[in-house]
Amino acid sequence: MNSKQTGFRRLYFATYYSLKGLKAAFASEAAIRQELAVISLLVPVTFWLNVSSAEQVLLVMSLVIVLIAELMNTALEALADHISTDVHALIGKAKDVGSAAVFVSLVMAGLTWAIILF
């Protein structure tokens, strides 16, 4: 993106590149597709649950955080693979830490849903 863009033009290109990234992640990562499927099923469920608005927001946001972690992990893995596809301890560590971030977000989402619902 041209760093000289300002105002609405910058906003347009930022949105364009963000949507391009979402499309690329959706096309290349099964985990992204699976998480979006779960989100599309569970978000409507929150409207039928007997929970407060604040609890509903927590339920939805816990799912969105999982998606954010997965997107960041996907970006990290793509960058690491671009640098080298050889086995390297630091690249392996970076990928493992990215995977751990996704795992922690999944546990947090599961605990959030369990605490609110039960």
The total number of structural domains that make up the chain? 1
Number of neighbours of residue 72 by Cβ within 10 angstroms: 14
pLDDT of 86 reads 87
Residue 67, pLDDT > 90, answer yes
Is 77 known to sit in a ligand binding site? Answer: yes
- Average pLDDT on 58-82 reads 96
Q: Quick one: pLDDT at residue 68?
A: 98
Q: Which of 70, 91, 101, 109 is catalytic?
A: 70
Q: Find the CATH number of the domain harbouring 101.
A: 1.10.287.3610
In the chain, % helix, strand, coil (3-state, to 5) comes to 85, 0, 15
Q: Is there a domain that residue 3 lies in?
A: no
70 is catalytic: yes
pLDDT 10s digits, 3-60: 678 899 999 999 999 999 999 999 999 999 999 999 999 999 999 999 999 999 999 9
Does 113 appear as a known binding residue?
no
Is 55 assigned to a binding site? Answer: no
Query: Domain range spanning residue 45?
Result: 29-117
**What is the pTM assigned to this prediction?**
0.88
